[in-house]
Structure 1
Amino acid sequence: MDHEKVNILLVDDQPAKLLAYEVILKDLGENLVIASSGREALEILLKSEIAVILVDVCMPELDGFELAAMIRDHPRFQKIAMIFISAIQVSDIDRLRGYEMGAVDYVPVPVVPEVLRAKIKVFAELYRKTRELERLNQELEDRVRARTAELESSTAKLLESEQRRSMAIAAGKMGSWDWDWINGDWMWDEGQYRIFGVNPETFNVTSASVQALLHPDDVDQFRKAIAEFNTGTRAYEAEFRVQRPDGEVRWCVGTAAATLDGNGRVVRVSGVTVDITERKRAEERQNLLAREVDHRAKNALALAQSIVRLTRADDVKTYVNAVEGRINALARVHTILSLSSWQGAEINKLIEEELAPYSLGGQIRLSGPEVQLVPATAQTLALALHELFTNSAKYGALSTRSGRLAIGWEVNGEMLALTWEESGGPLVRQPKARGFGTKSLLASVESQLGGQAQFDWRAEGLLCRLEVPLTRKATLPAVEKFGAAIAGELQRASG
């Protein structure tokens, strides 16, 4: 097997000896470097990597012992193997001195070639093996550093991922848990404690304590999940409710997965819990809104149908105008209620919308505090005001430029009192029979809202007083009661 050649330094002041050493060591196949003095040897050492030094003890200027001492003083050369060659018989003291200077062996003169080659070969191989071990060690250290860097990078990424997961769990109202199926131990993360509304420092997580926090109607589902895992189910997902210690109920969706042993038995169940309370509430609001929209649409159609069926007129044009006016009044109050998300309507806004089509300048005066009407009251009062405006524009104060109308309102406890006072218009006579407008107004205010409507047909102008409750809750849909009340009123009048 080919191996890397090493440098062997031969140091002697006699050229004949150097030549003899070269001949003896040539068969080793190493690089033989020649130095004829100690100083030259030092120069070579500074420029080259030397495996073994073969040095003559007796040299002028700088003998072998002094050269060895100088080599050992240099940190880079302290481990180089040095073999002394001595043509004189050395004493034990000289040998000891040589070993102290760093010599590893002595070769006496005359040199036995086989012995010299054997010794040089041993130290050359030792040097080569040492260098090989150093390279392997360096490669190992490099791999260790690379692996350590990979582990550090992987750990940093894992930590970053865990931080992102924790942030995602916190932001997404999520929690994770782990249940040792064998010994019953539970492990919850921070999100899980937060969802269940318990303190991690005081709450002991057990199957019983977890079950105690479930809504009573969902406990059987928890037991069902346990039973299914015991019969081989690998994964389970369900919606359930958590009843926190403070009484708040939270909706959650839970997913769980089982870990099995070699025999297919469950040894661990892990899962994630997501708080979906806001989503559930949004769904409930959406469903409620859908039902309300459906209900309002049906009621609006029912009311429009009642208006069409019950309106009376002498000719088609009058009939069409009356129907359009009442449906437009209904549309205007619906617009106001829609802008408030059907929370209610302000009474002054309601009146302004009803009087807008008349463009009467300063003929109308409004006075009263801000009052918020619930949708049913706003809808009914809007139709009642429409009838009053329509009658006044046809026969009352608003039919002439000299006429005046004062509308005022006040709140007395839970009642709204509205006064309609006309003056300056044509001479007023009390009608012999009530028209549809009057009948519908009385029916809506009294029968639907449980209020009162009083009419005083004064000669100088109509005085009408309406009292309606502000907080009355209708037990039936408002428009259905309105239509039924009008139908009953007309039926009684015709009878």
Structure 2
Amino acid sequence: MSDQHATWDEGALRRAIDAAEVALWRWNVDTDALHMDARAYRLWGIADDVVVTFGALSEHIHPADRDRVGAAFNATRAGPGAYEIDFRIVLGSEIRWISARGQGGDVGMIGRLMAGIFLDVTGRKQAEEGHELLAGEMSHRVKNLLAIATGLTAITSRSARSAKDMAEQLTGRLTALGRAHDLVRPIAGSDGDAALLGDLLTVLLAPYDDEGAFAGRIRVAVPRMGIGETSATTLALVIHELATNSLKYGALSDEKGTLDVSCAIQDDVVVLIWTERGGPAVVPPANAKGFGSDLVNRSVRGQLGGSIDHDWCAEGVIVTLRLAKQRLAN
């Protein structure tokens, strides 16, 4: 027999299985007993001296996946061919992704035992979720930038005296928007205070302020305080989202609209108040669960340790951000 078709001994197979981090299982279709190797027990977070059944093991499967997994395993005996199913299991506060693979239709069954493998695919699933989130955020950003460009064009046309003047103003606004947009992405290698709060807000809101008759309709009044790189990036994203919504639907969409941003420090909490006036009559959104709203809520609560509240006054929305002072220093 050539080396190409040489028989693999048990030791070689075990080394290959260990290298691939494959967990083995066998399921007795009559008694429901599930026999697993040591890696499978560790993967499921179960002591290896516990007698396991498929029914009992299913209790560890995430409730949202449990029925789907049970139906899939039962269906494997209905038809031949390889099968694969990915699902989540819950281990305390941890959620782990497992891929179960095997051969269906009773193929290869010996002594009423079906055999297969478990693989820990948590890393791959987390990467996929990260890519989906990034794709969603990029799509949202592109749509917002197009809306912003349209709104800035309208703002500029109100004060421009000629086509040349409009081109120069619009170019300046878009350049400022580019500088502001740089603040909504991480900057590696920066230590210490990233910016003063007032400077950050001024840079972010500069593209939206009118020149000429309606100049100065955006007013920023905040105490002098430095903020760290991480919080500057996160806060920039939040302000960028609020300004975009205002330009699309709120005070900044109207030539007579005004925006006031004020701030107060209350013990360990920084209260930032965003007040719009003079724009279209405010109608509370029927659905505040869009990607942008979700992004803002996650950023404020998760990264800035705070909260965000909206007061949908008819004369203009008021947004109150309560932020942990210590978090802003990071």
Change (3 A) 1:256 1:384: closer
Tell me, yes or no, if structure 1 residue 198 matches structure 2 residue 19.
no
Tell me, yes or no, if structure 1 residue 247 matches structure 2 residue 93.
yes
Change (3 A) 1:271 1:474: farther
Answer whether contact 2:153 2:170 (CA < 8 A) is retained.
Answer: yes
Answer whether contact 2:98 2:122 (CA < 8 A) is retained.
Answer: yes
Answer whether contact 1:260 1:266 (CA < 8 A) is retained.
Answer: no
Residue of structure 1 in register with 2:56 after alignment: 209
Alignment deviations for residues 105-136 of structure 1 (CA, whole Å, 9 cap, x no partner) = xxxxxxxxxxxxxxxxxxxxxxxxxxxxxxxx
Q: Return the alpha-carbon distance in structure 2 between the equivalents of residues 316 and 466 of structure 1.
A: 40
Change (3 A) 1:252 1:476: same
Answer whether contact 1:211 1:219 (CA < 8 A) is retained.
Answer: yes
Q: CA deviation at 1:271?
A: 0.9
Residue of structure 2 in register with 1:319 after alignment: 166
Residue of structure 1 in register with 2:305 after alignment: none
Q: Return the alpha-carbon distance in structure 2 between the equivalents of residues 373 and 267 of structure 1.
A: 71
Q: Return the alpha-carbon distance in structure 2 between the equivalents of residues 237 and 285 of structure 1.
A: 23
Whichever structure has more strand as a proportion of its residues is 2
Answer whether contact 2:89 2:98 (CA < 8 A) is retained.
Answer: yes
Q: CA deviation at 1:218?
A: 2.2
Change (3 A) 1:381 1:299: farther
TM-score, structure 1 normalization = 0.41
Residue of structure 2 in register with 1:335 after alignment: 182
Residue of structure 2 in register with 1:478 after alignment: 243
Q: Return the alpha-carbon distance in structure 2 between the equivalents of residues 299 and 230 of structure 1.
A: 50
With a CA cutoff of 8 Å and minimum separation of 6, indicate the structure with the bigger relative contact order.
2
Partner of 1:340: helix, strand, or coil? coil
- The CA RMSD measured in Å over matched residues stands at 4.2
Q: Return the alpha-carbon distance in structure 1 between the equivalents of residues 215 and 133 of structure 2.
A: 34
Answer whether contact 2:80 2:107 (CA < 8 A) is retained.
Answer: no
Alignment deviations for residues 448-469 of structure 1 (CA, whole Å, 9 cap, x no partner) = xxxx47xxxxxxxxxxx89999
Q: CA deviation at 1:229?
A: 4.5
Change (3 A) 1:373 1:256: farther
Match of 1:275 among 110, 115, 120: 120
Q: Return the alpha-carbon distance in structure 1 between the equivalents of residues 207 and 116 of structure 2.
A: 63
Q: Return the alpha-carbon distance in structure 1 between the equivalents of residues 69 and 207 of structure 2.
A: 60
Q: CA deviation at 1:480?
A: 2.3
Match of 2:142 among 273, 289, 297: 297
The code of the aligned residue for 1:168 comes to A
Match of 2:203 among 365, 382, 386: 382
Change (3 A) 1:230 1:294: closer
Q: Return the alpha-carbon distance in structure 2 between the equivalents of residues 303 and 261 of structure 1.
A: 60
Matched residues, number: 244
Q: CA deviation at 1:177?
A: 0.6
Q: CA deviation at 1:187?
A: 1.8
Q: Return the alpha-carbon distance in structure 2 between the equivalents of residues 373 and 192 of structure 1.
A: 53
The code of the aligned residue for 2:193 comes to E
Alignment deviations for residues 69-94 of structure 1 (CA, whole Å, 9 cap, x no partner) = xxxxxxxxxxxxxxxxxxxxxxxxxx
Partner of 1:490: helix, strand, or coil? coil
- Give the % identical residues: 25
Match of 1:487 among 244, 253, 257: 253
The code of the aligned residue for 1:239 comes to D
Alignment deviations for residues 311-344 of structure 1 (CA, whole Å, 9 cap, x no partner) = 1122232222111111101112323444539xxx
Match of 2:36 among 185, 188, 203: 188
What runs of 5+ residues in structure 1 fail to find an aligned partner? 1-149, 350-368, 392-433, 446-451, 454-464
The code of the aligned residue for 1:196 comes to W
Alignment deviations for residues 429-462 of structure 1 (CA, whole Å, 9 cap, x no partner) = xxxxx744412x33xx5xxxxxx47xxxxxxxxx
Answer whether contact 1:258 1:267 (CA < 8 A) is retained.
Answer: no
Residue of structure 2 in register with 1:161 after alignment: 13
Residue of structure 2 in register with 1:306 after alignment: 151
Q: Return the alpha-carbon distance in structure 1 between the equivalents of residues 204 and 67 of structure 2.
A: 54
Q: Return the alpha-carbon distance in structure 1 between the equivalents of residues 83 and 95 of structure 2.
A: 22
Whichever structure has more helix as a proportion of its residues is 1
Q: Return the alpha-carbon distance in structure 1 between the equivalents of residues 100 and 28 of structure 2.
A: 17
The code of the aligned residue for 1:159 comes to G
What runs of 5+ residues in structure 2 fail to find an aligned partner? 258-277, 280-330
Answer whether contact 1:259 1:267 (CA < 8 A) is retained.
Answer: no
Partner of 2:254: helix, strand, or coil? helix
Answer whether contact 1:238 1:254 (CA < 8 A) is retained.
Answer: yes
Change (3 A) 1:194 1:282: same
Q: Return the alpha-carbon distance in structure 1 between the equivalents of residues 46 and 76 of structure 2.
A: 27
